[in-house]
Each structure stands twice: as structure tokens, then as C-alpha cells.
């Protein structure tokens, strides 16, 4: 039985419809496209697993959904309906459950090359210009300030403190975004991350410079 990617695309589109936090269908599609490019460069064996794990990677994310367990059940059901065999299904579940960043002090390496390219693709989408836009979109959706000098960044040592943090959006650059370049697992992603990392650094410097600017005062 051939895998029905179109059915999975429709499922993800419907699931992410109306998202304004930077985790919408377009994010899933970008991660899918990037992951496919990385997979081909790195020689992945199972491109179907890469495509589907990339599309589904946020469906059961705890920061987006109040009932991740129910979402995981939905994922399993749609994978069966779409023609995935048991081995592929468990591989996709392993990737989607392990892909998310969990804090500066928490390492989340992927066991398989398919998992590595999906995780690298997701992290690349958190960098550069799009990563900056997504960071502030998510912060605004959660009612967080852009910046508050009285609240310094926190390098979280565990997932619970990371997920429970409600700090300003700019803190997220130091708590996650600027750490991603050195956590890429594939050679292709490490190369792609270099320019995006520089863009993040330039943005933070300009933001802080404008924040402290005296040009328009007095």
C-alpha cells in the first residue's frame, strides 16, 4: 500500500488552521521542504518518514495543544489510514516526540539520520529572519513583552522550567535561538545555520542599540 502524503497534508492543514504563533501550516511545509533537502544531501534511506515526521512534528507539541496524548492518538490513526507500516509508524512517532527543544541544559540528540534531518530542519526555521518573526509572533500570542531589561535570560537546566518560563521574547534568543547553530547534527544543516546565526546576532545588536539609543532624546 502506497503512503498517502496528500491525506497527511490535509490533516496537518486542518490541525494548524488559524495558528498565529508561528507554528502554522506554512511552518510545517517549510520544515518538510528543508528536511527533504537535508535528507537528500545526507543520504537518508526513508524519505517518506522524513516527509511525514516533518509535517506532523508540531501536531502533539505540548506548548501548542492542551492534550498532547489525544493528539498522539490522532497521529497514530492518520498514519495507519495513510498506509504506514508498523516500523515506519514507530519511527515517525519517535521523531515527533523527540524533535522539540527542551532548554539550554537539555540535550535531545536524534537516534536516526531521518530524525536528525527533521530536527535540524525545524531548528533552521527558528533561525534567521523567519526565526525572528516567529519568535515575536509566539511571544505576542502568549502576551509576553518584547523585552524587559530587568528580566535576564535563563539557561534552563530542565524541560519543565523551560516550558514554564514566561520571559520576554528577546530572552529567547539567548535561551534558544543563538544556541541552535552548535546543536545542528548534520553537515548540511551546519552550513545552512552559519548565515542565519549571523543574522540573529546582527538583529540582537541592532535591537539593543535602538533600545538604548539617545538619538531622539533631548
pLDDT digits (tens, 9 = 90+) for 142-152: 999 999 999 99
Q: How many whole angstroms separate alpha carbon 189 and alpha carbon 37?
A: 10
Examine residue 105 and state whether it is found in any structural domain, yes or no.
yes
Examine residue 215 and state whether it is found in any structural domain, yes or no.
no
Distant-in-sequence contacts of 81-85, Cβ < 8 A, 24+ apart: 81/4, 81/7, 82/3, 82/4, 82/5, 82/7, 82/8, 82/52, 83/1, 83/2, 83/3, 83/4, 84/3, 84/48, 84/52
Q: How many whole angstroms separate alpha carbon 128 and alpha carbon 198?
A: 8
CATH number at residue 79: 1.10.3210.50
Examine residue 25 and state whether it is found in any structural domain, yes or no.
yes
Examine residue 211 and state whether it is found in any structural domain, yes or no.
no
Examine residue 217 and state whether it is found in any structural domain, yes or no.
no
Q: What's the angle, vertex CA 153, arms to CA 151 and CA 154, rounded to 5? A: 115
Mean pLDDT of the residues in the chain: 93
Number of structural domains in the chain: 1
- Work out the average pLDDT over 122-136: 98
Examine residue 155 and state whether it is found in any structural domain, yes or no.
yes
Examine residue 212 and state whether it is found in any structural domain, yes or no.
no
Helix (H) or strand (E) holding 76: helix 68-81
Q: What is the pLDDT of residue 71?
A: 86
146 against 217, higher pLDDT: 146
Examine residue 69 and state whether it is found in any structural domain, yes or no.
yes
Q: What is the pLDDT of residue 3?
A: 75
Say which range, 69-78, 170-179, 208-217, has the weakest mean pLDDT: 208-217
- Segments forming the whole domain that contains residue 173: 5-206
Residue 37 near residue 118, CB atoms below 8 Å: no
Amino acid at each position: 500500500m502506497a503512503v498517502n502524503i496528500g491525506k497527511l497534508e490535509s490533516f496537518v492543514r486542518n490541525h494548524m488552521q488559524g495558528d498565529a504563533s508561528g507554528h502554522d501550516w506554512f511552518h510545517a511545509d517549510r520544515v518538510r521542504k528543508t528536511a527533504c533537502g537535508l535528507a537528500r544531501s545526507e543520504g537518508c534511506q526513508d524519505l517518506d518518514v522524513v516527509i511525514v515526521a516533518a509535517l506532523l512534528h508540531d501536531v502533539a507539541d505540548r506548548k501548542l495543544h492542551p492534550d498532547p496524548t489525544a493528539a498522539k492518538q490522532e497521529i497514530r490513526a492518520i498514519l495507519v489510514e495513510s498506509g504506514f507500516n508498523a516500523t515506519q509508524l514507530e519511527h515517525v512517532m519517535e521523531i515527533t516526540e523527540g524533535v522539540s527543544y527542551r532548554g539550554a541544559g537539555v540535550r535531545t540528540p536524534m537516534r536516526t539520520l531521518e530524525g536528525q534531518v527533521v530536527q535540524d530542519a525545524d531548528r533552521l526555521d527558528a533561525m534567521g529572519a523567519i526565526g525572528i518573526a516567529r519568535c515575536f509572533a509566539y511571544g505576542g500570542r502568549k502576551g509576553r513583552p518584547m523585552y524587559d531589561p530587568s528580566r535576564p535570560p535563563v539557561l534552563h537546566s530542565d524541560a519543565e522550567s523551560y516550558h514554564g518560563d514566561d520571559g520576554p521574547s528577546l530572552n529567547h534568543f539567548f535561551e534558544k535561538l543563538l544556541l541552535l547553530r552548535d546543536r545542528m547534527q548534520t553537515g548540511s544543516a551546519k552550513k545552512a545555520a552559519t548565515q542565519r546565526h549571523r543574522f540573529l546576532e546582527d538583529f540582537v545588536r541592532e535591537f539593543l542599540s535602538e533600545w538604548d539609543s539617545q538619538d531622539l532624546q533631548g
